[in-house]
Structure 1
């Protein structure tokens, strides 16, 4: 007997409706319905609650194959959560690029590196830098808020926009001949790409 059949049997034996079971497990009725139809498994915490509620062991609830599937799913979800957090933090950290001395400014016969706040080579370029960096950091803050609110479905779109913003920033830094900020931005983009590839597996 598979998990969804066992859960349904235990629920009915204890004369509980899906809604009543959902209330006791602090999940939605839709989640219980999904588990009972065999379209998914509860997470580890919900599984512990089910085990305690019906006085059965987790081994009695799940076969060894189902345990492996559950562990893999849980692992994938955790990796995605960590990746989404890192994504947001990387984008948010671009606010530091306003204050760190990454921008080359001609000073007589040599180039002096200054922060963007002190940079006064070209007001148009400076404003473009400011706009892009603030937009990227605000995007990072939005990513972290969405992660806290658990809007997992929105992350694909968020990542695409994040990559796009980051790529535009790198192209601008290359075109305006800013080697330090270009190199650092490129490293951040590589980290994002590695995270994206790991999540896609």
Structure 2
């Protein structure tokens, strides 16, 4: 994928016209058009501005082997999950409940209050933390599932291994090569 193709794809994904992109960068619409058509290339300064405007890593932007649309969509999925107000409310509520039970449990343990009451409060605190952990794992699994679908990867295996931190790291490190392999297999089947 050429730099011009990436510029065009990112521009369309962001939903802006060539005119708007040109005005944001301080160049002419014709310059953006020439970049997208491969008739000219943006200067180094314009490449930095483009990467910043599209909120994408400059190295990924310049790497001709990276499908920028997939990277951009993956970031959008993650940002959507993180900025979802309901998700945020649930996490904040669970953390607040945990702290409201954990701190008293620790205090009661320090002052050597009735052991059964202290144990009960600590158990409630642990249960809340367990629910919070399950909720965060479900968010991670949702991200991995959507990212797999976006990349054309069969998601079930990677969703399951993403339950653990090690599995999530393996997926994040290998997803580009798996996606590329999956795309090549589909092309081979079509031929």
What TM-score, normalized by structure 1, do the two folds share? Answer: 0.31
Structure holding more strand per residue: 1
Greater RCO, 1 or 2 (C-alpha within 8 Å, sep 6+): 1
Structure holding more helix per residue: 2
Q: Which has the larger radius of gyration?
A: 1
What TM-score, normalized by structure 2, do the two folds share? Answer: 0.32
